[in-house]
Chain A
């Protein structure tokens, strides 16, 4: 699904990723943990093509397609979804309008027919219910006036509607109370835990991994993956800290 080989990336000429390699197969859930400043968010942004995040070496492919050759919106249409650590507010554009434009732009890019208004609303209602989100919230402007937890749930509704092949979720668990964490975690399982999907969770905490059970856990430090293990690695980190484990 996702193949990253020897990826180097800079932000404002500062090297952040320094030879990162990672392979994720369809049907797998991977977690990346690591100290602040290790490059976790940079990995997500670089793969999604955020302007200013320059790849200086290495490769990244999604389902065999060269991600780095694509514009950001083309990467999304190719199946990549980045869940933002800080979802962005877009005043005056409703969630429903935003999502319908997004979904139909992706469908168009893939040569599929756009969804009708009624089909889209049915889909939106279904995914909102999955995340216990009131449809009224989706009529409001994107993320404007949403609490931290509501933003994260709204992101998962977006993911449900867009139905990506690969989701990179950057600290989707931050800012969530216990109930919201369960709703979001179960939402991730129900949307993405499928044989033809894959997830890369970027997180600091075990608590999300108790709900979304990863197949592999990686430790990112100094811009590279320094250790890979099974779910037990996250528990070991929680007990002993990065310094001892990585």
Chain B
């Protein structure tokens, strides 16, 4: 499979690292752990919950899904000055990847989710949902590459990326990238960047809900999209996310 692991220190010219915090990278690069490998055998199912990034702030996961296998991967990217969740997945025939991630950043944090989904064989499906909430001067980025091999017919790959900016200095980047070499495929991607609805905030205030609580409720609902498919594990992630949200408001 095409690995995203780079042995030499990446530069801004490397597409997958263009929004990264290179000063932080230079510091942590020598100590960076090898990518975590997940292999899901044909017909099997696996779940990986990333409720915290390692101390380096960088977690790289390489997954290989056998025929008809299913991997559900949910992550929270928060709490680091530089945080990066990088996921490379190869899907064999009929396999499915469900990926949900929330990026919650404040201050001057640089946080990113970078994915490369390789639809190597026919009939595989992938669904990626990424929600970002960014305050202060934080930067949150999603770079998502979907590669559909020449004979990977009937691929169905979806990406939904939404960001909410709490302050004028915050930045959201969304870069979906599709490389499609098959002709019978469904690849949908949608990206939006917005702010909290003023009328919704006023409606909540008119019922007595203070602004910070109103914002937290709306943002919780916003990021919940990313963990909808995670079941009980999703609730734990949402609880952690709520703590981070509190610090952004």
Q: Do the beta carbons of B208 and A105 come within 8 Å of each other? A: yes
Q: Do the beta carbons of B204 and A90 come within 8 Å of each other? A: yes
Q: CB-defined interface of A98-116 with B at 8 Å, one 1/0 digit per residue? A: 1101110110010000000
Q: Do the beta carbons of B222 and A76 come within 8 Å of each other? A: no
Question: Contact size class for A?
Answer: 20 to 34
Q: Which residues of chain B have C-beta atoms less than 8 A from A88's C-beta?
A: 197, 199-200, 202-203
A-B contact count (CB 8 A): 81
Known: A51-B198, A73-B210, A105-B213. Contact between A91 and B221, CB under 8 A?
yes
Q: Do the beta carbons of B208 and A71 come within 8 Å of each other? A: no
Q: Which residues of chain B have C-beta atoms less than 8 A from A103's C-beta?
A: 208
Known: A91-B221, A98-B217. Contact between A76 and B203, CB under 8 A?
no
Partner of A93, one of B202, B205, B217: B217
* A90: nearest chain-B partner, CB-CB: B200
Q: Which residues of chain B have C-beta atoms less than 8 A from A98's C-beta?
A: 204, 207, 209, 217
B206 contacts the other chain (CB 8 A): yes
Q: How far is the CB of A155 from chain B (nearest CB, A)?
A: 10
Q: How far is the CB of A96 from chain B (nearest CB, A)?
A: 12
A58 contacts the other chain (CB 8 A): no
Majority secondary structure, B binding face = helix
Q: Which of B197, B208, B213, B214 has the most CB of A within 10 A?
A: B208
* B202: nearest chain-A partner, CB-CB: A50
* B228: nearest chain-A partner, CB-CB: A92
Q: Do the beta carbons of B203 and A87 come within 8 Å of each other? A: yes
Query: How far is B50's CA from A88's CA once the two chains are assembled, in angstroms?
Result: 35
Q: How far is the CB of A82 from chain B (nearest CB, A)?
A: 5
Among residues 46 to 91 in chain B, which have CB atoms less than 8 Å away from a CB atom of chain A?
Answer: none
7 smallest CB-CB distances across A and B, nearest first, come from A92-B221, A76-B208, A72-B205, A88-B203, A106-B208, A102-B207, A73-B205
List 27 A-B pairs, Cβ < 8 Å: A50-B202, A51-B198, A72-B205, A73-B211, A73-B214, A75-B206, A76-B208, A77-B208, A81-B206, A84-B203, A84-B206, A88-B197, A88-B200, A88-B202, A92-B218, A92-B220, A92-B221, A92-B224, A93-B217, A93-B220, A97-B217, A98-B207, A98-B217, A99-B207, A101-B217, A103-B208, A105-B213
